[in-house]
Amino acid sequence: MTATEAKTDTIKPGMKVMTMLEAITDAMRTEMRNDDRVIVFGEDVGKKGGVFGATLGLQDEFGEQRCFDTPLSECGIIGAAVGMAVYGIRPIAEIQFLDFIYPAFDQIVSEAAKMRYRSGGEYTCPMVIRSPYGGGIRGGHYHSQSSEAYFCHTPGLKVVIPSTPADAKGLLIASIRDEDPVMFLEPKRIYRHGKGEVPLGEHVVPIGKGRIAREGTDVTILCYGAMVSVCEAAAEESAQHGRSVEVIDLRTLVPLDEEMVVASVQKTGRCVVVYEAPKTCGYGAELSAIVAERCIEHLEGPVVRVAGFDTPFPYTLEPLYLPDQKRVLAGIEKTFVW
């Protein structure tokens, strides 16, 4: 059950209202209780509980053997995690900000992603790399980027991005249980916004299934992460102008729920793709191509991308850079009038 669905009910037994951050901690706690192979490590994740507090309390409960600080080396963190996963335990490695992941890029794309394939299935690399990503917190160049496309472009990696607290928990648990390496990217802008109901204990949201965040018939918006609530707001405003907008929260970029995307666009005949990464070669470009290839007979307007700029991520002009409700609305209109 997602937070959006939960809103329509009263709080049920076994549910708790949480922020996304709390839901993420809850997911790790739940899995660490379930499976003693699961460990968590990274910079400042021990006593401090992470710079955002995602690992708060885990060292207290599980000890320093299972939740610990590492030296300040992203390639060391991921390299060690790969060795651990190959050996047979289940590491969750936190990279403090996605902007700092590049020293580990080699370990991710050359090693983790190719482990199963290159060894003919003898060795596998089931691990989760958790990292806050995206703009909206006035973080400037190096605390704001959305570099998900690099990882989506690498065969062998799954890329998961939640947009609600309940999904954050359910998808993270699914990621920890997954047999392949998962990039679990956390939209930090909504870490503490938009609380939602989250099931306590066991809660799994399967990887590879999108979510229809809002049903509609005139135009489909494809989005993920922090853009989902922006798109929902734009859809609401658009409804006042008589447009029925369907909003699809992709939840996982790899594997993509292509059938959900195609079915929706074939139904509506129009498509807007919204992402906050630089526009060129972003994940939205792939979505546009899929829609173009598979929905051409149904399209009644151009597939429109609403995205970040092809610039480094700015500090002061961040609000201008990020897609907002107004830009999404303009994108919707472009699919009708071009």
Partner 1 sequence: MSKTKKPAATTKAPPKVKARAKAATKPRGKQLAENSLPRPGFAAVGNPPSHTGGLVRVLDDEGCIEQGKDPNLAEDTLLFLYEQMVQVREFDRRMLMLQRQGRIGFYGPILGQEAATVGSTAAMEMRDWIFPALREGAAAMMRGLPLVEAINQLIGNGNDRCKGRQMPCHYTYKEGNYYGMSSVIGTQISHAVGAAMAAKIRGDDVVVLGYLGDGATSANDFHSGANFAAVFRSPCVLFCQNNQWAISVPCSKQSASETLAIKGKAYGIPSVRVDGNDILAVYVVTKAAVERARSGMGPTFIEAVTYRRLGHSSSDDPTKYRDEAEVKEWERKDPIDRFRRHLLRRELWDDAKETALKERIAKAVNDAIAAAEASGPPADETLITDVFAKVPENLKTQLTEVLALEGRRVNDGAFPL
Binds partner 1 (CB under 8 A): choice among 53, 83, 140, 194: 83
Binds partner 1 (CB under 8 A): choice among 53, 76, 194, 301: 76
Torsion of CA 193, 229, 158, 202, to 10 degrees: 50
Q: Do the Cβ atoms of 89 and 37 come closer than 8 Å?
A: yes
Residues 6 or more apart in contact with residue 225 via CB below 8 angstroms? 133, 134, 146, 161, 162, 163, 185, 187, 190, 276
According to the binding rule CB under 8 A, does residue 331 interact with partner 1? Answer: no
According to the binding rule CB under 8 A, does residue 82 interact with partner 1? Answer: yes
Residues 86-115 that bind partner 1 (CB under 8 A): 86-89, 91, 103, 106-107, 110-111, 114-115
Distance of alpha carbon 40 from alpha carbon 46, whole angstroms: 9
Distance of alpha carbon 223 from alpha carbon 248, whole angstroms: 6
Give yes or no: 153 in active site. Answer: no
264 membership: H or E segment, kind and range: helix 258-268
According to the binding rule CB under 8 A, does residue 81 interact with partner 1? Answer: yes
**Which region, judged by CB under 8 A, interacts with partner 1, from 25-33, 164-172, 177-185, 236-244?**
177-185
Q: Do the Cβ atoms of 248 and 221 come closer than 8 Å?
A: yes
According to the binding rule CB under 8 A, does residue 209 interact with partner 1? Answer: no
Distance of alpha carbon 25 from alpha carbon 60, whole angstroms: 13
Site string for partner 1, 19-58 (x = CB under 8 A): ------------------x-x-------------------
Residues 117-176 that bind partner 1 (CB under 8 A): 117-124, 155-156, 158
Instruction: Please count the other Cβ atoms lying within 10 Å of the Cβ belonging to residue 68.
Output: 18
According to the binding rule CB under 8 A, does residue 180 interact with partner 1? Answer: yes
Footprint on this chain of partner 1 (rule: CB under 8 A): 37, 39, 65-66, 70-71, 73, 75-76, 78-89, 91, 103, 106-107, 110-111, 114-124, 155-156, 158, 178-180, 208, 255-256, 258
* Residues designated as active site: 143
